[in-house]
Structure formats: structure tokens, C-alpha cells
Amino acid sequence: MAIKDLRILVRLECPSLTLRFWDGSSGPYIDDNGDVWRAASLTDQALDEIEMAINGESASLTLVISGCDKTTMDLAWADYQAGEIVGSKMQILTQALDEDQAPDGDPEVQFTGKIDNLVWDNHATDAAIISTLQITVVNRFALRRMTSGSVLSDIDQKARSAVLNPGAPADRFLDRVAGLINKTVRWPDW
């Protein structure tokens, strides 16, 4: 089957529950494992930040999810108040869909990070109370503490890549660094 559509999924693994959202508004989405993903709206700015994080252009990500239901927000708030939600894992996945909008294969992890901060906002309209959750996520690179003058090695980069994109091929970006340690570069004399 050919891929006809793509769904963006966000999974937050909090201590007391796993929150699952998908970018849409037509009700819950049930994946092949029977997990329920709640509909929520990702802002255009959030989609831009997701793209930058997936492309490796950003070490942190701020995600704004709107339209969360009260039960979900209450459980997340309880974890936050207990001081247990910061540091929890968050993943952004993409799910390929067929022409019937059914899942086509397993979702692919595009970004993995740890929750650094959460901001809640509730505002009332004539019809209902709308909850918005702003999540700041940092990946392993943003949490790295390097000594001044130290060098990022290929081993560090491969370990970082394995955490950020589990299941992806090993990152070979810094493979040649080890061979450059004793190399002398001669600049031309003009």
C-alpha cells in the first residue's frame, strides 16, 4: 500500500500515566496496539519547531498543545505538583496512513527528549473551558556539560544519536575526528 497521509503523534511518559496526543480534531485515534491517542491541536509554531528538532537544527523544543480534556490535565497537574513530571520522556512520532486513514505499519520515532518545563493555561469561552499545555523539551545534546576546550568524539555522537533516535542507523557525523588528532594541515603560501 502507498502512504496517503501522515499523522503527527506526541507521547509523554509521565510517572502516573502516559499521555498520547495526535494533531487533529476528529476525536480519538486508536493505533494497532489498542492505545488511545487524544485529539489536540498543535499550533503552526509548534509544527515549525518539530521540523527543526527532527532535522537536528534545535536542541530544545517548545510544544503547545491545545484542546486537552480535563481528566488528562488533572492527572498531569497532580504529577507536576508532586515534582515528578520534569525529566519525563517525550517522543514525537510520525504514523503513515493508507487511503482509508488506517495505520500503515508502526509509528516512527522522530524526536526523543526530556520534559524541562510545563505551563498550563485555561481560558473560558461561552461553550467550554479550553486547556492549553505548553511543554518545553530538551534533548541529550542540550543537557551535555562539556569542559572548556574538550572535543565531542564520534563515540559521544553515536551514543547521543542512539538516545535521540532509537532504532535509526548509527550517526556517522564525527567518524573522521579520531583520524584528525595527529594530522598536520598545511595552508598554502600566497
Task: Tell me the pLDDT of the chain (190 aa) as tens digits.
Answer: 566 788 888 888 887 778 888 887 777 888 888 888 887 777 667 677 777 776 666 667 777 777 677 777 777 778 778 877 888 888 888 888 888 877 888 888 888 888 888 887 877 778 877 777 788 888 765 555 545 445 566 676 777 777 777 787 877 767 777 677 777 778 888 7
Q: How far apart are CA 90 and CA 11, in angstroms?
A: 6
Q: How many residues does the chain have?
A: 190
Q: What residue segments make up the domains of the chain, in order of their start?
A: 5-141, 144-190
pTM: 0.64
Q: How far apart are CA 92 and CA 113, in angstroms?
A: 9
